[in-house]
Structure 1
């Protein structure tokens, strides 16, 4: 049976783990010299999962951030040649964001960075513990209470 104290401890452990994951990924990003921040990495991954190039407002909604934050991220990524702004073919007033060839290449490298960070974090766990953790995380991430 859980108690408010044990739930509080679990919440604190999850927050500490999240911070550790973030620090390790950031360190791996720096070692690769990709010139991409974790927030920019997230935007690139989001773009990769879009069927068509999204509008800035669509990206803001998917990332659950304010539109101004997306503008700053896109500006930096565009300066680095990883994304480009393109006019919507059906409405020239609408601007969409798409990955460039360099952006696709960077995504592949980011995948390697995330894998290396995960390996570092999960190193202390046995295969059985990793499987159990994966099942628990699936339950938390895919639970019906997350459906909006």
Structure 2
């Protein structure tokens, strides 16, 4: 097996384990990784997002974002508001409960990463971070 292929398989496998661990950590919070990611995008936005903007940031089609937002709204984490600049648009606003849940989500993500990378020394973790940063900065 070529080194590049082996690296790709290793990165894929580690990514899968990280996502699975994250999903397990999110379970008690009643959230899926997709919902957690959407909540993060809404909170990290400098201003309330339109539904179409959230779909773009999540890289999903606009009709798919509706079910994610429905679940977040049903859980009381976000609310829809009419955009005063364009009454046909809907803005997504985080509730206080959403901000509190987001802190729990961040902690769940940290725990999942900590569990996965605990086999590495702090120096090895720094080295891995540096190497992956180099690869991540490449275009495309």
TM range (shorter): over 0.9
Are residues 1:10 and 2:7 paired? yes
Q: Structure 1: how far apart are the matches of 2:136 and 2:55?
A: 21
The residue that corresponds to 2:26 in the other structure is 29
- Which of the numbers 42, 48, 51 marks the counterpart of 1:47? 42
Segments of 4+ in structure 1 off by > 2 A? none
Shift of 1:95: 0.7
Q: Structure 1: how far apart are the matches of 2:34 and 2:116?
A: 20
What 5-or-longer segments of structure 2 have no aligned partner?
none
The residue that corresponds to 1:67 in the other structure is 62
Matches for 1:93-112 after TM superposition, within 5 Å: 93-112=88-107
C-alpha RMSD over aligned residues: 1.2
Q: Structure 2: how far apart are the matches of 1:96 and 1:83?
A: 10
Please identify which structure carries the higher strand content.
2
**What's the TM-score, normalizing by structure 1?**
0.90
**What's the TM-score, normalizing by structure 2?**
0.95
Deviations 1:103-136 (A, max 9, x none): 1001000111011111101100011101101101
RCO greater where, 1 or 2, for CA within 8 Å and sep 6 or more?
2
Q: Structure 2: how far apart are the matches of 1:59 and 1:67?
A: 8
Q: Structure 2: how far apart are the matches of 1:91 and 1:61?
A: 19
What 5-or-longer segments of structure 1 have no aligned partner?
none
